[in-house]
């Protein structure tokens, strides 16, 4: 058990990924800008973090003129081009192990970029996926064709035959992946989780054991000696829609405000957290007050990951 942090500086690379090609709803590409306008960088500065911000405002220029469905997946060329490019950027930021990497989505297909980059820099890392959804559909199992429901099938190497995603390496071993917050998992995904033996903690487990125990069980599953780097991928739809209403695929019965923050606080406390994604904030959905609340909670989750505590 280590008691010092992997990241020993207070340097942070914040990477915006204003991207909506992994799902059909407009607006999620506006998430990063709204989070920045809300003052996230100033908040981090107040906490002593020195940040650099890469907004990636030009990713929509990678949208091809024609992007037909391939093997059930929508916009495969666009998603592939953007995530491949940003993966290099994330790897560059993470490579020296002396900076925290915070990525702001964008829809959850951007995990193809963030996980590829972070695991390129930290091959022994584990991945904690906080989400209402499992996002592990294969091209063969997806009903929607939306790639934000599929990134983990590529990243775990169970989908290898899609022509547009040959660049994605299977960097995440099933025993290094765990979930918290699941409550809307497709039948095909349930099969995949069983087959791969992935330890998943649904809202049923949160109700049964409480969030404190669930986070320890999740860490025991993927990081038993508490010595491996942690990448947290936090989809705000893991939170209850009353807490984070402005998101594209809300599902009732989610994490409370405190449960969401507790996960971030506890992972910070391990000293092992090296990267966090905050995704699926869509400020164009619901009313203005809902959008404000969702952006605000995205900022406070990020701060909790970076050491903000209640006392």
Ligand X SMILES: NC(=[NH2+])NCCC[C@H](N)C(=O)O
Q: Which residue out of 235, 259, 265, 308 is catalytically annotated? A: 235
Q: Judged by CB under 5 A, which of 14, 110, 115, 135 binds Mn ion?
A: 135
108 annotated as ligand-binding: yes
Exactly one of 13, 93, 137, 294 binds ligand X (CB under 6 A); which one?
A: 137
Q: Does residue 57 carry a catalytic annotation?
A: no
Quick check: is 308 catalytic? no
User: What is the pattern of x (binds ligand X, CB under 6 A) and - over residues 256-285?
Assistant: ------------------------x-----
- DSSP H or E run through 168: none
Per-residue contact string for residues 176-215; x = within reach of ligand X by CB under 6 A: ----------x-----------------------------
Q: Which stretch binds ligand X (CB under 6 A): 61-69, 132-140, 165-173, 200-208?
A: 132-140
Minimum distance of ligand X from residue 142's CB (angstroms): 5
Q: Measured between alpha carbons, how far is 250 from 236 in angstroms, rounded to an integer?
A: 9
Q: Which of 107, 131, 189, 240 is catalytic?
A: 131
The answer to whether residue 186 is catalytic is no
Residue in 107, 133, 184, 259 annotated catalytic: 133
- CA-CA-CA-CA torsion sign (172, 176, 181, 186): positive
State the nearest-atom distance from the C-beta of 135 to ligand X, in Å: 5
Instruction: Give the C-alpha distances (Å, rounded to integers) separating 114 from 14, 38, 50, 152.
Output: 12, 23, 21, 12
- Closest distance of CB 149 from Mn ion, Å: 7
Q: Are strands 50-54 and 100-105 parallel, antiparallel or unpaired?
A: unpaired
- Cα(132)–Cα(181) distance, integer angstroms: 5
User: What's the CA angle centered on 93, arms 89 and 97, to 5 degrees?
Assistant: 145
Query: What is the DSSP annotation of 191-258?
Result: HHHHHHT-EEEEHHHHHHH-HHHHHHHHHHHH-TTS-S-EEEEEEGGGB-TTTS--SSS--SS-B-HH
Residues with catalytic annotation? Answer: 108, 131, 133, 135, 148, 235, 237, 280
């Amino acid at each position: 058990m280590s008691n010092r942090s992997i990241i020993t500086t207070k340097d942070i690379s914040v990477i915006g990924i204003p991207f909506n090609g992994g799902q059909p709803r407009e607006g999620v590409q506006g998430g990063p800008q709204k989070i920045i306008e809300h003052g996230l960088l100033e908040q981090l500065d107040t906490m002593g973090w020195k940040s650099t911000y890469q907004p990636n405002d030009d990713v929509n220029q990678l949208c091809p003129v024609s992007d037909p469905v391939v093997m059930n997946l929508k916009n495969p060329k666009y998603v592939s081009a953007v995530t491949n490019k940003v993966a290099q950027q994330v790897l560059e930021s993470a490579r020296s192990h002396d900076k925290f990497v915070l990525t702001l989505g964008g829809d959850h297909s951007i995990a193809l970029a963030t996980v590829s980059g972070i695991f390129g820099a930290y091959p022994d890392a584990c991945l904690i996926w906080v989400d209402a959804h499992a996002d592990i559909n294969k091209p063969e199992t997806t009903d929607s064709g939306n790639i934000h429901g599929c990134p983990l099938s590529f990243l775990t190497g169970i989908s290898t035959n899609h022509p547009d995603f040959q660049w994605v390496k299977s960097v995440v071993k099933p025993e290094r992946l765990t979930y918290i917050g699941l409550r809307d998992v497709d039948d095909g995904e349930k099969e995949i989780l069983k087959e791969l033996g992935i330890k998943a903690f649904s809202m049923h487990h949160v109700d049964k054991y409480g969030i404190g125990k669930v986070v320890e069980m999740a860490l025991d599953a993927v990081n038993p000696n508490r010595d491996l780097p942690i990448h947290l991928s936090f989809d705000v739809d893991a939170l209850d829609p009353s807490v984070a209403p402005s998101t594209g695929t809300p599902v009732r019965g989610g994490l409370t405000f405190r449960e969401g923050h507790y996960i971030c606080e506890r992972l910070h406390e391990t000293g092992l957290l090296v990267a966090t994604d905050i995704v699926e904030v869509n400020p164009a959905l619901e009313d203005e007050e809902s959008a404000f609340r969702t952006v605000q909670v995205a900022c406070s989750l990020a701060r909790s990951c970076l050491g903000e505590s209640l006392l």
